[in-house]
């Protein structure tokens, strides 16, 4: 039986192999993606982001359990660019994730940078294609909210939960990190700790100051992931946000925007690869650099000339 047939038959081993193929961009991975893409299209993607230690894994653990209980086929991707694939943090995530009863069938995959610089957002988005095609209808993506790469990952989600904790500082901190803009729902986790009410209040004030052009009022939920307090409330808001996006047509709009970016990225990547292979091979560049250094050319004219040459395919 071919790998793809096993995949279609529901083998998680086959799924894992296909994910590795895609994640490592091994020979032919684009063809695999093209094939898988067309059989998917139903999966709802929920991003959970926030500072390290906020309780993202613990929250995802609970939420994934609730989604599975509600009859969804659930997958989880943990993105942790800072640690290698087998690193301690990820192992910790894995252990905690094991709290999800196996009979609920939640599929968990960790992704590390493993040397693939800059491509993590694209790799993550590609992996979701495989999960979607496999038949999962709900995906949670956990990522640390620190930089552009994480924002790119979160950009590809339908609903974004920002997890904060009282001790992570004031709401202004979240504002600075750009987390206010991307949050559809706030979870103020570790509500058992001091300062939780103040944090909820600060977030409320900060959100009220924002000029809102949306009918969606960002809920702020005080949770205790470990003690399982208010998780059903958080889950209800997830469901409500999904319903809101569907009702208003915003989901389709969002998907269209995401697809535009995706097509553009594939195009740019292909052009870049082609340029690297053809125009910018060592000898051509050495020659150009030599001329620039001898004062016969400059980087701007040389770049433009190469562009014209590329554009007209000569």
Ligand X SMILES: Nc1nc2c(ncn2[C@@H]2O[C@H](COP(=O)(O)OP(=O)(O)O)[C@@H](O)[C@H]2O)c(=O)[nH]1
Binding site for Mg ion (CB under 5 A): 56-57, 93
Provide the 3-class DSSP secondary structure of residue 108. strand
What is the spatial distance between Cα 16 and Cα 3, in angstroms, rounded to a whole number?
A: 10
Residues 14-73 interacting with ligand X (rule: CB under 6 A): 52-58
241 touches which of ligand X, Mg ion, none (CB within 5 to 8 A by kind)? none
- Could you give the residue ranges of the DSSP H alpha helices within the chain? 3-8, 12-23, 29-37, 56-69, 88-97, 120-134, 148-155, 171-176, 179-182, 196-209, 231-248, 250-277, 282-293, 299-311
**57 vs 159, which CB is nearer to Mg ion?**
57
Residues 204-263 that bind ligand X (CB under 6 A): 224-226
Report the partner that residue 109 touches, choosing among ligand X, Mg ion, none (CB closer than 5 to 8 A by kind): none
CB of 145 to ligand X, least distance (A): 10
Backbone angles phi, psi at 280, to 5 degrees: -100, 35
Binding of residue 287 to ligand X (CB under 6 A): no
Binding-site partner at residue 125 among ligand X, Mg ion, none, CB < 5 to 8 Å by type: none
Residue 18 or 177: the one with the smaller Cβ distance to ligand X is 177
Shortest CB 277 distance to Mg ion, Å: 39
128 binds, among Mg ion, ligand X, none (CB under 5 to 8 A by kind): none
Closest alpha carbon to 128 in 56, 51, 42:
42
CB of 127 to ligand X, least distance (A): 19
Instruction: Determine the Cα–Cα distance for residues 38 and 89; give it in Å rounded to an integer.
Output: 35
At 193, give phi and psi (nearest 5°).
-90, 160
What are the CA-CA distances from residue 125 to residues 6, 259, 299 (Å)? 23, 11, 35
- Cα–Cα distance measured from residue 161 to residue 253, given in angstroms and rounded to the nearest whole number: 20
Work out which of 12, 69, 181, 192 binds ligand X, going by CB under 6 A: 192
Q: Which residues bind ligand X (CB under 6 A)?
A: 52-58, 189-190, 192, 224-226
């Amino acid at each position: 039986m071919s790998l793809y047939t096993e995949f279609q038959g529901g083998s998680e081993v086959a799924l894992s192999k296909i994910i590795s193929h895609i994640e490592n961009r091994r020979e032919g991975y684009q063809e695999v993606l093209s094939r898988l893409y067309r059989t998917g299209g139903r999966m709802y993607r929920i991003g959970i982001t926030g500072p390290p230690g906020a309780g993202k894994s613990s929250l995802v653990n609970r939420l994934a359990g609730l989604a599975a209980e509600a009859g969804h086929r659930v997958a989880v991707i943990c993105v942790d660019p800072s640690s290698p694939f087998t690193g301690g943090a990820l192992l910790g995530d894995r252990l905690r994730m094991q709290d999800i009863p196996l009979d609920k069938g939640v599929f968990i995959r960790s992704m590390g940078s493993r040397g693939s610089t800059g491509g993590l957002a694209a790799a993550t988005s590609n992996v979701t294609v495989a999960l979607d095609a496999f038949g999962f209808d709900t995906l949670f993506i956990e990522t640390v909210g620190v930089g552009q790469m994480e924002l790119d990952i979160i950009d590809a989600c339908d609903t974004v939960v920002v997890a904060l904790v009282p001790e992570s500082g004031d709401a202004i901190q979240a504002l600075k990190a750009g987390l206010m803009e991307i949050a559809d729902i706030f979870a103020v986790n570790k509500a058992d700790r001091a300062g939780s009410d103040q944090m909820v209040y600060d977030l409320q004030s900060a959100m009220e100051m924002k000029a809102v052009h949306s009918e969606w009022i960002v809920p702020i939920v005080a949770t205790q992931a470990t003690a399982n307090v208010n998780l059903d409330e958080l889950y209800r808001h997830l469901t409500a946000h999904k319903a809101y996006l569907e009702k208003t047509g915003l989901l389709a709009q969002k998907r269209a925007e995401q697809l535009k970016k995706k097509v553009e990225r594939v195009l740019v990547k292909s052009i870049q690869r082609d340029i690297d292979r053809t125009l910018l091979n060592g000898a051509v560049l050495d020659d150009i650099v030599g001329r620039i250094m001898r004062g016969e050319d400059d980087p701007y004219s040389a770049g433009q000339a190469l562009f014209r040459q590329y554009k007209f395919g000569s």
